[in-house]
Amino acid sequence: MTSQRTRLRMIERLRGLGIRDAAVLAAMAEVPRHVFVDEALASRAYEDISLPLGFGQTISSPHTVARMTELARNGRALDKVLEIGTGCGYQTAVLARLARQVYSMERIAALVRKVRRNLREAGVANVHLRHGDGHAGMPEVAPFDAIVMTAAAPRAPEALLGQLGAGGRMVLPVAGGNGQHLHVIELTAKGLVERRMDPVVFVPLLPGVG
């Protein structure tokens, strides 16, 4: 269940679900998702489902990871990417295949320790992890070509929007009265442009650290 053949079946399923970015599909074919889930769930690692991580967190389904990555990349080469909500590090590892440097923030210290092990096992070396409150982002290393937030909020945190570079995109789940939807916010020459996309389900973005 953790073989390359199983991973390639996942890629074919993602194509069937509408993922078109060849670079995103190639990155997901390379990242061993089973490394990032609990051993007891490894046999389900390549199913298109979210899985529990403990601490009230989940690893998103492969389709959700692919969709958010595709929207964030928008066909561009990426230099610096900021991720808010590292979780188990799977989305982080996919982004790391597509960007020169990934900066990732996680509020739960135990998950940060686990992610370091996961990324090492997956052979990922271009990720900078920080234990901290994601609302603040990392202004000292901004601007970013893309910001990917993996927890839902009523709106994008203003501090994060201020860390987008020209032409940069932020992808996040926004929670409203009609449920959660992915939103894409792009910094254009005329300012920020926001679009609502697919319905999703994410854990809430929480303040502080644990």
Nearest to 165 by CA among 190, 152, 146: 146
Catalytic status, residue 43: no
Q: Sign of torsion, CA 85 88 91 92?
A: positive
Q: How far apart are CA 149 and CA 141, in angstroms?
A: 17
**Rounded-to-integer distance, Cα 50 and Cα 195, Å:** 24
- Given 3, 43, 60, 61, which residue is catalytic? 60
Query: What's the CA gap between 154 and 174, in Å, rounded?
Result: 5
Beta strands in 40-190 (DSSP E): 51-54, 57-59, 78-84, 99-106, 127-131, 144-149, 164-176, 179-188
Instruction: Name the residue among 92, 94, 87, 80 with its Cα closest to residue 24.
Output: 94
Burial of 158 (0-12, 13-18, 19+ CB in 10 A): exposed
Active site residues: 60
